[in-house]
Homo-oligomer: A and B are copies of this chain.
Amino acid sequence: MATRTRRSQRRTQALSRERIVEAAVELLDAAGESGLTFRALTERLATGPGAVYWHVANKDELLGAATEGVVAAALAADPTEPAGSPQDGIRAVALGLAGAIEEHPWLATQLAVQLSRNPWGTVTARIFESIGRQVRALGVPESSWFTATSALLHYILGAAGQNAVNAGVPGPGTDREEFLGAVSTAWKELDPDDYPFTRAVADQMREHDDREQFLAGIDFVLTGITTLHPPAGRPGTPPASRETGTP
């Protein structure tokens, strides 16, 4: 969509790093990871590869910039909700990321790649900061800030990464139900000796709701954090649970 300057038409907008990254995101959204090539990119930008290389070091940097741009947009979103509990704040960050992955399915893989390649880069820092502020608001003692925030970060990224593809399907959920049904059936046909547990939860797997699962996991981590590292200032304060933290 948007203003698409097709080939043969001379470029009207000056080339810039931002414009290049924007085009890269569009290509990724439209055709997935394999859709981003320098040939497709230069055609869309009506230029040559040398021009792109003037603004961007290589394809890895381009993918990193695309990832960071999309993550930054996802975390900067919704100034609608003013405050709410810290627990809700963390859920909002997590759901914001999950939403970004739903809009840009390539983000799941790319987030993982960026993370394992550059574990403490700018992408991580952005997410870390968003979660950390809520951890601080939670009253976690300062000495546990890094530990608690890291745990939340890891859970969110792990869960978001896996739930990406099933969420990517359109429609009201028919495709998704079919998919989960197929997996569930496959699980029931696993070797009873090797996979007794997986077979036993095949039905739960079919019926599960991604979003609910995602939030349940966050509640586990939050409960663990507030139980093992209760607020220091107010000694009598009980650990906050899902029930008390949600409106």
Q: What is A's interface to B at a CB cutoff of 8 Å? A: 108-109, 112-113, 115-120, 124-125, 128-129, 132-133, 135-136, 142-143, 145-151, 153-159, 161-166, 183, 187, 190, 194-198, 200-201, 204-205, 208, 213, 216-217, 219-225, 227-228, 241-242
Contact = CB atoms under 8 A, between A and B. Distances in A.
Given A116-B165, A220-B220, A228 B204 contact: no
Contacts of A150: 159, 208, 213, 217
Contacts of A135: 197
A222 B200 CA distance: 21
B145 A220 contact: no
B129 A198 contact: yes
A160 B128 CA distance: 17
B112 A146 contact: no
A195 to B, nearest CB: 5
B117 A198 contact: no
Q: Which 7 A-B pairs have the closest CB atoms?
A: A158-B158, A220-B224, A112-B112, A151-B217, A132-B197, A146-B204, A154-B158
A136 B196 CA distance: 11
Given A136-B197, A155-B221, A162 B115 contact: yes
A117 B143 CA distance: 38
A55 to B, nearest CB: 23
A204 B154 contact: no
A239 to B, nearest CB: 8
Contacts of A242: 228
Nearest to A157: B158
